[in-house]
Amino acid sequence: MPPRLLGLDYGSRRIGVAVSDQLGLTAQPVLTLTRKSLRQDLRSLGRLLRRFDCSAIILGNPLYLSGDLSPQAAKTQAFAETLRESFALPVHLWDERLTSAEAHRHLDASGRSRETHREVVDQVAAVLILQSFLDAQRPPGGIV
């Protein structure tokens, strides 16, 4: 069975969290962490990594549309290094351009009012990031 992966949408106020299913086919929302301090954030993420027995972290990398590094991408890359050091796990930076906009579109399509998006949009973005990573790992002609 493929190992489970933890997907993160890292932001300045919140971290959206998703996890892959046990077959490594789909991403499932878990929760949105409201950021407190780096120490508390790492403690919470460590609990989730153990709870879901994850072998790697997929971290959304917020590049500019041009592909250039945004200021948030630089912070995200520093956070990726902290995650590697803290958990001794592989951390894969994954292009997340337009993920938040796509997450809002999904929430709009589901009938959620815009006022309620904030509480789940980061989770949906984490799902989209992780699902994109999982899909890219499948061999051509593999399971769809």
| 104 — pLDDT class (breaks 50, 70, 90) | low
On whether residue 97 sits in a domain, the answer given is yes
On whether residue 73 sits in a domain, the answer given is yes
**pTM recorded for the entire structure:** 0.87
On whether residue 123 sits in a domain, the answer given is yes
| 68 — pLDDT class (breaks 50, 70, 90) | confident
On whether residue 69 sits in a domain, the answer given is yes
pLDDT digits (tens, 9 = 90+) for 131-140: 999 999 887 7
On whether residue 144 sits in a domain, the answer given is no
Instruction: Domain count for the chain, please give it.
Output: 1
Its domain, for residue 113, covers 4-137
**What is the CATH classification number for the domain harbouring 52?**
3.30.420.140
On whether residue 142 sits in a domain, the answer given is no
Three-class DSSP labels, the chain: CCCEEEEEEECCCEEEEEEECCCCCCEEEEEEEECCCHHHHHHHHHHHHHHCCEEEEEEEECCCCCCCCCHHHHHHHHHHHHHHHHHCCCEEEEECCCHHHHHHHHHHHCCCCHHHCCCCHHHHHHHHHHHHHHHHHCCCCCCC
Q: For residues 108 and 23, which has the higher predicted lDDT (pLDDT)?
A: 23
Q: For residues 141 and 6, which has the higher predicted lDDT (pLDDT)?
A: 6
On whether residue 143 sits in a domain, the answer given is no
Residue 64's pLDDT is 81
